[in-house]
Structure 1
Amino acid sequence: MELLLETVALFCLKLAYETEDSSPILRDDPIMSDYEREVFGLLVRRGDVEGIQRRLDECLRLALNAIGGVDTVLGRELRRLTADLSTARNMEQLDAPLIALKGYLKDIQ
């Protein structure tokens, strides 16, 4: 699950900060320091669903702003997928929304 969380965060940050004329954002970039696999791993081991949701919410807000907000087609879909993530109450309920978010963010890169 840690890899999936890190990937979702990476795709969000790529949307928010990566430009066509710059080098790509990678997992080991300093911007990823709060969203590394080890950070998520600690939250997963603790079963801290709310902590995971807060971390991802930060990234997802950046991605939402990067695609024009909730008034765009892409933004509305991202908001819908984000809502599914925020309703999770345990670790198992995070899986499906995370997989959907990962796929969507990858597609809109």
Structure 2
Amino acid sequence: METSLETVALFSLKLAYEEEGLSPILRDDMVMGDYQKDVFELLVRRGDVETIQFKLNECLELAMSAVGGIEKPLGRELHKLSMAFSQAESVEQLQQPVVLLTNYLKDIQ
């Protein structure tokens, strides 16, 4: 689960900040500091769904802007997936929406 959370953050930030022809954003880049696997591991262990959602929603908002917002087809689908993620009330309920977000963000890279 922690790796999937980190992956959603990574691909969201890639959409928002990575520019063609420049170095790619990697997991150990400074921009990923608050979104690394060990940070999510601690939050998952604590069952802190609210903080997990807050952190990932920060990244997803950046990704949403990068794809043109909810008015665009990519944005509508991202919004739908992020709403399912935001409605989860337990760590277990986060699992499926995180997998769907991960797959979608990988696909639109």
TM-score calculated relative to the size of structure 2: 0.99
- In 2, the alpha carbon distance for the partners of 1:64 and 1:86 equals 15
TM-aligned CA deviation for residue 3 of structure 1: 0.6
SS of the counterpart of 2:23?
A: coil
Please state if 1:81 is matched with 2:53.
no
CA RMSD in angstroms, aligned pairs only: 0.5
TM-aligned CA deviation for residue 21 of structure 1: 1.2
- In 2, the alpha carbon distance for the partners of 1:22 and 1:88 equals 36
Per-residue Cα deviation, 1:34-75 (whole angstroms, up to 9, x for no partner): 000111111111100011000000000000000000100000
- In 2, the alpha carbon distance for the partners of 1:77 and 1:20 equals 24
Please state if 1:30 is matched with 2:30.
yes
Matches within 5 A, 1:10-29: 10-29=10-29
One-letter amino acid matched to 1:100: L
SS of the counterpart of 1:33?
A: helix
Segments of 5+ residues of structure 1 without an aligned counterpart are: none
After TM superposition, where is structure 1 displaced by more than 6 Å over at least 4 residues in a row? none
Per-residue Cα deviation, 1:68-104 (whole angstroms, up to 9, x for no partner): 0010000000000000001100011001000000000
One-letter amino acid matched to 1:25: I
Segments of 5+ residues of structure 2 without an aligned counterpart are: none
- In 1, the alpha carbon distance for the partners of 2:36 and 2:74 equals 26
Matches within 5 A, 1:1-109: 1-109=1-109
- In 1, the alpha carbon distance for the partners of 2:51 and 2:45 equals 12
TM-aligned CA deviation for residue 7 of structure 1: 0.5
- In 2, the alpha carbon distance for the partners of 1:57 and 1:3 equals 16
